[in-house]
Each structure stands twice: as structure tokens, then as C-alpha cells.
Amino acid sequence: MALVLSSDYITPTELTGYVREALSDLPQNAFGLSAYLPDVETDDIDFRVTTGGGGLARVAKYRAWDTESPISGRRGVDRLSGEIPPISEKRRLSEYDRLKMRKLDAGIVDAILNDAVDLAKGIHARVEVARGEALSDGKVTIAENGLTIEADFGRKATHTQTAATKWNVEGSNPIDDLLAWQQIYVATNGVRPGATLTSQSVQSSLMRNSAIRAMTLPTGSTQQIVTIDAINALFQSFGLPALSIYEAQVEGDDGNAKSIINPAKVLFLPPSDRKLGETLWGVTAEALDSDYGIDSTDAPGVVVGSYSDKDPVGLWTKASAIALPVPANTNLTLAATVL
């Protein structure tokens, strides 16, 4: 299939500008993980990060007068590098549909614009899935369309936990679990987590958990459920960050809804003054193609073009990007399976 870039209905520059403006105007709604791994444009297709630094402060030592300064050890760090992989999709405006619109150039343009935004949203959704993996697992694994990579950012094994007694089982004590995991987090990072990210399923289990009810309801109460405000007040009293619900879903390969983050998990995420990492958006080959007409300052990010083919005659819309979440300070996350 030989596709030829076409500007008969709209130029790649116009199409890319329209898509980027449309995406910026969309409400963030469920896709909110960019708050922890914000978008950063880079004029590159490679990433290089240092992991293992930060954490607790080293302690210097006093010395006697007129003695040599002691030699400080260097904190162990790992340098991780790799390629930012490409992601693209295209969609065809069929020969039949084009003929139906043959007297309505505006209709063809609208169809191209709608397809372009839809394709770009799909790319952003895939990147959000990768963000969810990075936060939950400390690594991003890609195995699709002939690409197989695992970007492992070296999160400590102790930052992946499982509740000894699941929170929806009688006898569990979520507060004890969270305090123990927070202690691990503080021992690594020197600060408490800034957020507890979880699902409605976990929150509902907390609202009905016997240990939580005993801590929040008056003695002898027969109430079977506690409020979210009561849970967050209890968390605050123990020095734990309040619950934040994240339930974004995407359409899986089987057509069914798929959660971006496992709804059986709880995640500790960093306070706002600690940088976890970023989501790198590189420069595609399309953005460097002079026929696209993309200015070098606008090259990173999603770019979109309209194409044509002749056998059979049809129009195609293709969106392309190079993107990868890179949580360099991955130990600022901790994930626990609780259901």
C-alpha cells in the first residue's frame, strides 16, 4: 500500500495545529496521571536518566582541627538509557464514503478532522496506559505490533506489596497495612507520600471494613458503612494522605473496558514538591518531513497528515508520535494489592 501525503483538503500543518488545540481544550476527566508524569517535549528519540539518587540525606562528620577532611562516599546511582518508541495509527475514508461526499468538500474536511482528533486521542490514551504501568509497576512493558521492550526503572522490591489479609476479608486492618507501607516509603525517601491513589472498589471496601468501622463509629453502632469524609479524617489522624480516586478505563483489544490501573491496588505517590519523572514526547520522522511543513519549535508531539492512495481510491488520516513515561525517581511510588 503506497500512501502519498496529500494537502488537497487540508495541510499537515493545519491538521496538526487543529488536533493539538482540540486536545488541549478537552477536559482532563479521567486521564489525570500527567499530574505525576507531566508531558515534556524533547528534540530526541532517546532518553537518559539517572536512577537511585535522592532519598535520605547523607550525614557528614565533624573533624578535629588541622586534620584532613574525610572522604565522602558517592551515592550509588544507575544510569538508564533507551529509545522512546514510536506510536501511530491511520484510518481510511473509504472510496464509497468519499463518493457520497463528492459535492461536499467541507464534509470531507470535517471527516478528516474528526478522524484526526480521534486517532490522536487514541495515542494519548495509550500513553496514559503506559503512565499507569510506570506508577503501578515501576516499569513500562510494551509488546505489540512487532515491538517488544521493557523499560525497567529499578524500583525497590519493597515498594511492591500485597496485603496479608485482603481488605474485603474479615480480620483485615487497612490502617496497620498503610502505616507499615508508609514506613517503608519514608525510610526510602525521607518524606511521607503526598497522595493515596486507588479505585472506587477499594474505597467501597474501606467503607465497609470492620476495623475501619470500629475506629470511626461510636461503640455499639449498627451502621454498616462509613462515609468517605470519615475515612479521610481517620487517615489524617494517622498521618496518612487522603484517598484520591482514579478509575480511568480504555477499550481493550477484546472491545471490553480495561482499567488503566488495577482496581485492586493502592498507590502511594509523591508530594507535589518531589519530582517523580516526566512523559517524554519526541520528534517523529513525519515532523521532520519538509512536506509536513511543521516548524522545528512545534516538531515534538503528535503530528497528523492526510494521505491518499489510488487502488482503490481513498483518503487516509494518520497520527504519529514518539512518547514514553520516564519515572526516573521511581521509588517515589509504592503499590500494594489490597483486594
65: region left, alpha or beta (phi > 0 left; psi from -120 to 50 alpha): beta
Q: What is the mean pLDDT of the chain?
A: 89
Residues 17 and 118 grouped into a single domain: yes
Q: Give CA torsion, residues 189, 195, 196, 201, to 10 deg.
A: -150
Give tens-digit pLDDT for 117-145. Answer: 999 999 999 999 999 999 999 999 999 98
Position 331 pLDDT exceeds 70: yes
The whole-angstrom separation of Cα 174 and Cα 147 is 40
Cell of 96: 464509497
**H or E element in which residue 109 lies:** helix 105-137
Residues 164 and 221 grouped into a single domain: yes
Residues 227 and 98 grouped into a single domain: no
Residues 121 and 211 grouped into a single domain: no
Q: Give CA torsion, residues 286, 292, 297, 298, to 10 deg.
A: -80
Residue 123 lies inside a defined structural domain of this protein: yes
Give the chain's domain count. Answer: 2
Residues 17 and 121 grouped into a single domain: yes
Residue 255 lies inside a defined structural domain of this protein: no
Residue 66 lies inside a defined structural domain of this protein: no
pLDDT of residue 30: 59
Residue 263 lies inside a defined structural domain of this protein: no
The whole-angstrom separation of Cα 266 and Cα 243 is 9
Do 192 and 184 touch, CB atoms closer than 8 A? Answer: no
Higher model confidence: residue 95 or residue 104?
95
Residue 100 pLDDT level (bands cut at 50, 70, 90): low
Residues 13 and 141 grouped into a single domain: yes
Do 251 and 257 touch, CB atoms closer than 8 A? Answer: yes
Residues 130 and 179 grouped into a single domain: no
Residue 157 pLDDT level (bands cut at 50, 70, 90): very high
Position 28 pLDDT exceeds 60: no
Cell of 11: 495541510
Residue 19 lies inside a defined structural domain of this protein: yes
Which residues form the domain of 326?
4-52+80-154+276-337
Residues 299 and 191 grouped into a single domain: no
The whole-angstrom separation of Cα 282 and Cα 322 is 5
Residue 46 pLDDT level (bands cut at 50, 70, 90): confident
Count CB-CB contacts under 10 A for residue 265.
Answer: 23
The whole-angstrom separation of Cα 251 and Cα 128 is 13
Residues 45 and 187 grouped into a single domain: no
Q: What is the CATH number of the domain that holds 133?
A: 3.15.30.10
Residues 140 and 287 grouped into a single domain: yes
The whole-angstrom separation of Cα 283 and Cα 299 is 6
Position 77 pLDDT exceeds 60: no
The whole-angstrom separation of Cα 316 and Cα 168 is 50
DSSP states along 239-279: TPPPEEE---EEE-TTSSEEESS-TTEEEEE--TTS---EE
Determine the average pLDDT of the residues in 183-191: 95
Q: Residue 83: CB partners within 8 Å, gap ≥ 6? A: 45, 46, 47, 149
Residues 21 and 121 grouped into a single domain: yes
Residue 98 lies inside a defined structural domain of this protein: yes
Residues 210 and 315 grouped into a single domain: no
Give tens-digit pLDDT for 296-322. Answer: 999 999 999 999 888 777 889 999 999
* Residue where the block lists cell 544507575: 78
Residue 44 lies inside a defined structural domain of this protein: yes
